Amino acid sequence: MAATSAVVLSAAARRISRSAAVASSGGGAHLLSAATRRMSSSCSASSSSIITLERVRGDEEGPVEWIASSQAFDAAGYRWRIKYDPNGNSWNESNECISIFVELADDIKGPRQEVKDPVQFKLSLLDRAGNPSPKYCRSNDASFFVDGQARFQDFIRWKDLEESGCLKDDSFMVRCDITVIKKWAEDDDNVSVDSASSRVVVPPSDLHRHLYDMLWKKQGVDVAIDVSGETFEARGWLLAARSPAFEAELLAAPKEKAPGGGAVAVRRRVEIGGMEPRVFKALLHFMYTDALPPSMMEEEEEKHGAVAMARDLLAAAHRYKLERLKLLCEEMLCRCIDVDTVAGTIAVAEQHGCGALEAACAEFLARPGNLKAVMETEGYEKIKANPTMMELIMKQLV
């Protein structure tokens, strides 16, 4: 079954006094369409909500704890509410970002419903024409909704929002897609004991989601990592367990008094050179979750940015001996090989010992017309100066 709804949330921006902050629903939340059918196979209920967020800037610094909330709306068979925090949490200490939360709301007919099926959420920043911007789409893996809230803590940085071209009349729109995955048939009235027991499902592991949440929680962090002017906080035991190379850096790092007077009295400070903050952020995401950031997967439509990120992250994975991450980046680069990217990708593959990626580049160059097209680009001189690659190309041409 499917449902579509629209909700409008008016909210204040990063710097505004509480008296100026107003949260309201424009036009309310209403169910536009719904269709339900009984079926004997897996199905899903999904909905899309459009949220309008108004930026209002004032002279006063807004209260850090201020959060705007939409009115409750119906979607995918449940009631939801969107919350917006202009002073969002971030992986670093600057907190210059926006956080958006999707949570269950109290039902008008009674207590809050429990979602018993896996739920997937996707937030997309919309451009001025109302189309999703692939670079600023955030989603989570479908998982059981056990804590009543989906958190997109680092949805977008204020700096990135202002440079995105998505602001219109000092406001921006976010689309929220909610999908509830229905597991079982609803029309079996005579179910045997055996078939009933077979409906007991052990959910997939959501350890990665809990570890991901730890990125945002400051309790227990004992490492400060400086990367090109930005500072990230993490837990040393997790980084050491994931990467022996990182463990060596932690052991050699100086200790300092931890700020705030929390449970951790002393922390280590690590300085990492030769890496951009955005790359380290993706590296840290992988070390906590064993997966690429969703934003990186969605950016693949913007090939130039995706290729640059994958190359840099592959180099970081090689540096910290994260073989799975290295292979994930190698796979992404294989999918992005074209006339413009092949020369640079060959150089990265050779530098970091990626044999499969080198072979994929050679195969691409051996296809009719590709080598001739590449010969007209500036990158061809790099390929011609690489005897190993030229040998691979010749083998493909034979």
For the cut 90, the answer to whether the pLDDT of residue 63 exceeds it is: no
Condensed to tens digits (0 to 9), the pLDDT of residues 328-340 reads: 999 999 988 988 8
pLDDT of 313 reads 96
Q: In the prediction, which pLDDT does 184 show?
A: 43
Residues 6 or more apart in contact with residue 43 via CB below 8 angstroms: 1, 182
The highest-confidence range among 41-45, 314-318, 351-355, by mean pLDDT, is 314-318
Reported as a single tens digit per residue, the pLDDT across 290-306 is 888 877 765 555 667 78
In the predicted model, what is the mean pLDDT of residues 388-393? Answer: 70
**Confidence bin at 15 (pLDDT 50/70/90):** very low
Q: Which residues contact 91 (CB under 8 A, 6 or more apart)?
A: 154, 215, 216, 232, 233, 281, 284
**pLDDT score at 95:** 57
The ranges of the chain annotated as CATH 3.30.710.10 are: 225-230+270-397
The larger pLDDT score, comparing residue 192 to residue 200, is at: 200
| Architecture category of domain 225-230+270-397 in CATH | 2-Layer Sandwich (3.30)
pLDDT at 50: 67
Mapped to the 3 state alphabet, what secondary structure does the chain carry?
CEEEEECCEECCCCCCCHHHCCCEECCCCEEEEEECCCCCCCEEEEEEEEEEEECCCCCCCCCCCCCEECCCEEECCEEEEEEEECCCCCCECCCCEEEEEEEECCCCCCCCCCCCCEEEEEEEEECCCCCEEEEEEEECCCEECCCCEEEEEEEEEHHHHHHCCCCECCEEEEEEEEEEEECCCCCCCCCCHHHHHCCCCCCCCCHHHHHHHHCCCCCCCCEEEEECCEEEEECHHHHHHHCHHHHHHHHHCCEEECHHHCCCCEEEEEEECCCCHHHHHHHHHHHHHCCCCHHHHHHHHCHHHHHHHHHHHHHHHHHCCCHHHHHHHHHHHHHCCCCCCHHHHHHHHHHCCCHHHHHHHHHHHHCCCHHHHHHCCCCHHHHHCCHHHHHHHHHHHC
For 236-262, the pLDDT digits (tens) are: 999 999 999 999 999 999 988 877 655
Residues 363-389 have pLDDT tens digits of: 888 887 888 888 887 777 777 777 777
Domain 2-185 fold? 2.60.210
Q: Which range is least confidently modeled, 5-19, 42-56, 60-74?
A: 5-19
The whole-chain average pLDDT of the chain stands at 73
pLDDT in tens, 200-222: 666 667 777 777 777 777 778 89
Q: For residue range 78-110, what is the model confidence (pLDDT) as tens digits? A: 888 888 888 776 555 455 778 888 888 876 665
pLDDT value of residue 169: 77
**Greatest mean pLDDT range, 3-17, 154-168, 305-319:** 305-319
Taking the C-alpha atoms of residue 237 and residue 223, their distance in angstroms, rounded to an integer, is: 9
Q: Which range in 123-137, 164-178, 193-207, 281-295 is most confidently predicted, on average pLDDT?
A: 281-295
Q: Are strands 43-54 and 30-35 parallel, antiparallel or unpaired?
A: unpaired
* pLDDT in the model for residue 69: 78
| pLDDT at position 241 | 93
Whether residue 19 has pLDDT greater than 50: no
Predicted local distance difference test score (pLDDT) of residue 349: 92
CATH 2.60.210.10 segments of the chain: 2-185
Q: Is the pLDDT of residue 71 over 80?
A: no
180 forms beta bridges with: 45, 119
Q: What is the pLDDT of residues 261-290, one digit of tens each?
A: 555 677 899 999 999 999 999 999 999 988
* pLDDT tens-digit map of 138-164: 887 767 666 667 888 888 888 888 888
Average of per-residue pLDDT across 125-133? 84
